[in-house]
Structure 1
C-alpha cells in the first residue's frame, strides 16, 4: 500500500492535482466543436472562401462582433480552462501568487533579449513558408475575424479586435497553463528538465486532431523551447509573445494567400 499512500503525500499532492486537472482540461478543450472554416479545400486542390452571409451590409458592428465572439470556442475555451480556472486554483486553492507561476517579468533583461531574438525569427519563418492549405482545417479559429467582410480594407478593425482577443485571452492563457501552471507547478517534484518535458508532452497532446501533422511535430520543439525560456527567465512572457507572433503571423499569411483578389 506504500505506493498508494505516497500518491497522497504532501510533497506529491500539488503536482498530482495539477496533472489530473491538466488531463481533464486538455481533453475538454480538444473536443470543443470547431466553427465553420473561413476557407475550404476543394476536391481539385483549390481553396474557396466561405460565404458567411448573403447580405453582409445589413449587419451592424455589434452583430459582427457577436458573430466573432460566438464562433471562437477554442479561444474562449482556452481562456476558461487554461486561464481562469488554473489561476483560481493557484490563488484560492494553493494560496500562492500568480507571479510565482510566471505572470511576472522575472529576469526582465533575459525576457527582453529572448523576445527580440526569436519573435522576428518566427515571423520570418512563417512568411518564408507561405500559405499552406494543411492549416486551413484549423486556422483561423473564427471565420468572422474580418467581421464577415472579404477584404482587409473593410475588415481590418475586426481583424485588430480578433488579434487582440487572440493575444490576451488565448495565448496568455495557453502559456500560463502549460508553462506556468503545469511546468512551474511540478518543478519541485520532478525537477526542471522533466517539468519542461511534462508541459511539452501535454501541450503536444492538445494539438492532436485537426491540427496539421507538421504543426504537431513543431509543438514538441516549441514546447521545449518555450519551457526553457521559462526556466531561464522565471517568466512566461517571452514564450507568450513569441508564440503569439507565430500564430498571428500564420493567420495573416493564410488570409493574404487565400483571400480572393
Structure 2
C-alpha cells in the first residue's frame, strides 16, 4: 500500500503577535520590489511631488515657509526612514545617520569645499542668482526672516541629504554596484532643481555625484550636510549682502556679543 504524502498545513508563528502585519509588509516589499526599484520609484515620485506642490518657492508669509519645511521633513525624512527601517530592516546607521568614517570624509569635505566655494561665490554675482535668492523672498526684507530662513534651509538640506545620500543611495547599493547607485540617486536629485536658475540645475548634476561619492566613501550623510549648507548660505549672503550683515549683527546682539 502506497504511503500517503505528509499533510501540508499552513502554520502561523504565534510569537509574531502584532508584528505580523509588519512581517507581511517586509515580505511584500522584498518579493515584489527590489531595494533599487523601491528607492528609484519613491525617489522619482517624491521629487516630482515636492517640486510641483510644497517644494515650490514659498510665498511671503511665515506659514508658507513652515509648510515648506514640514513637507520636506515628512516626505524626505520621516516616511523614507520608516520604509527603510521596517521594510528593509536598515538601521539608522545603515541609512547614513551615523558618523561613519570621519577620517575619510573630512578629506572629501575639504577638497570638494575648496573647489566648489569659489565657483559658487562668482556664480552668485550673476543677475539670475541675484533675483532668485534668498529662496524665501521675505528673507530679503527682514533680518529676523533672514535668520529664520537659514534655520529652515539647514533642516531642508538635511532632509535632502538624508533622502538622496542616505535612503536612496544605500537601498540602491543593495542591488547594484556603488558607482551605479551614486548615479542612480543623482537623477531625481537633479530633477528637483528643475525650474531654478539654469546654472544651478546643471551644477546639481555634478553636486549630486560629488555628494554621493562623499556619502558612500564616508558612510554618512553628515559630511554632505557640511558641504551643502555652506553653499546655500554663500548664495544667500551674496544675493542679499546688506540683509545678511544686519542678520549677523542681530544674531551677535542676541547672544550678547555685540554692543
Q: Partner of 1:231 in structure 2?
A: 216
Structure 1 distance, partners of 2:148, 2:190, is 28
Structure 2 distance, partners of 1:158, 1:100, is 36
Deviations 1:29-75 (A, max 9, x none): 01024334xxxxxxxxxxxxxxx7xxxxxxxxxxxxxx434235544
Partner of 1:86, secondary structure, is helix
* 1:70 aligned onto 2:67: no
Shift of 1:22: 1.3
**CA pair 106-11 structure 1, distance change in 2 beyond 3 A:** farther
Q: Partner of 2:98 in structure 1?
A: 104
State the Cα RMSD in Å.
Answer: 2.8
Residue 168 of structure 2, aligned match among 182, 205, 220: 182
Shift of 1:130: 3.9
Shift of 1:80: 1.9
Q: Scaled by the length of structure 2, what TM-score is found? A: 0.73
Q: Partner of 2:193 in structure 1?
A: 207
Deviations 1:7-26 (A, max 9, x none): 98649533222222112111
Structure 1 distance, partners of 2:34, 2:156, is 28
Structure 2 distance, partners of 1:11, 1:71, is 38
Q: Partner of 1:256 in structure 2?
A: 241
Residue 229 of structure 2, aligned match among 244, 253, 259: 244
Residue 19 of structure 1, aligned match among 17, 40, 47: 40
Q: Which runs of 5+ in 1 are unaligned?
A: 1-6, 37-51, 53-66, 150-154
User: Does structure 1 retain, via aligned residues, the 8 Å contact 2:76–2:160?
Assistant: yes
Decide which structure has greater helix share.
Answer: 2
Q: Scaled by the length of structure 1, what TM-score is found? A: 0.73
Residue 162 of structure 1, aligned match among 142, 149, 159: 149
Q: Partner of 1:93 in structure 2?
A: 87
Partner of 2:57, secondary structure, is coil
Structure 2 distance, partners of 1:136, 1:35, is 17
Partner of 1:144, secondary structure, is helix
Structure 1 distance, partners of 2:87, 2:96, is 17
Q: Partner of 2:202 in structure 1?
A: 217
Say how many residue pairs are matched.
Answer: 216
Q: How does 1:32-181 map to 2 (within 5 A)?
A: 32=53, 33-36=56-59, 67-71=61-65, 73-135=67-129, 138-145=132-139, 148-149=141-142, 155=143, 157-167=144-154, 169-181=155-167
User: Does structure 2 retain, via aligned residues, the 8 Å contact 1:134–1:212?
Assistant: yes
Structure 1 distance, partners of 2:35, 2:151, is 33
